[in-house]
Amino acid sequence: MQPEVTPIQAFTDNYIWLIRITDSPRAWIVDPGDAEPVLQYLEQQGLQLAGILLTHHHPDHTGGVDRLLAHSPVPVHGPRSDRIPQVTDALSHDDTLSIDGLEGMVMEVPGHTLDHIAFHFPLRNVADASPLLFCGDTLFAGGCGRLFEGTPAMMRESLTRLCALSDTTRVYCAHEYTQANLTFAMAAEPDNTDLKQRLEEVQQLRQQDRITLPSTLALEKRTNPFLRCHNPGIVKQITARLGHVPADETETFAALRQWKDVF
């Protein structure tokens, strides 16, 4: 029972993720901000919509839900939020769900928004399969989401929660921001050789208009500055910007996020 995960591109840089079991005609869709590319893909591949997973309320993640439901009335799994009335299965931290036999768990990861959740599929009973993480706009390849509603401490705690998962976990975030994120990361940690190599590889992929996802948690821990606020090189850069040594890793994280916002 191997899961297949396929990106469906939407807007300028969104990825809508399609999950299905190998050879199954049933497709589960994560964060459909736009229905049209999803419907086109389902028709082209002869697939039927089985359900929708939502990480948070922003329109570029939910804007296609009504049209998809008009086409196929299916369950909608999402956060407990008054801002997503289409949700039929409201989920909280540590809740479980099953996608055609794939057992998953819900993680509350506020920061980008207060209602943000992530979907984690450990795949413990699937041979030679890495765990899957659908994290919306919380963790990005090389970065993290803007703090539209949460605090730096809240986002840092959410990222720490995600980092407790297996290093082999494949990270499926919702945007093609990797090259821009890694360019900033080089400014934050210029002596990181793993980061330099990753940026070069990503630049080559983007020159060929190829996707840079999924990432892995192991790779993020080596190259994502928002997961490396303990690193002396990053602390040095933040100290220079603040004019004083940050009091703790949360202050480092907050200054790093503010820097990225204007980078």
* Residues with catalytic function: 56, 58, 60-61, 112, 137, 175
Q: Identify the three-state secondary structure at position 138.
A: coil
Distance CA 17, CA 213 (A): 11
- The contacts of residue 74 (CB under 8 Å, 6+ apart) are 49, 50, 51, 52, 68
- The contacts of residue 5 (CB under 8 Å, 6+ apart) are 17, 18, 19, 132, 170, 172, 214
DSSP 80-93: S-TT-TT-SEEE-T
Name all contacts of 202-210 with Cβ < 8 Å and 24+ positions apart.
202/142, 202/178, 203/179, 206/178, 206/179
Nearest to 153 by CA among 202, 108, 111, 213: 111
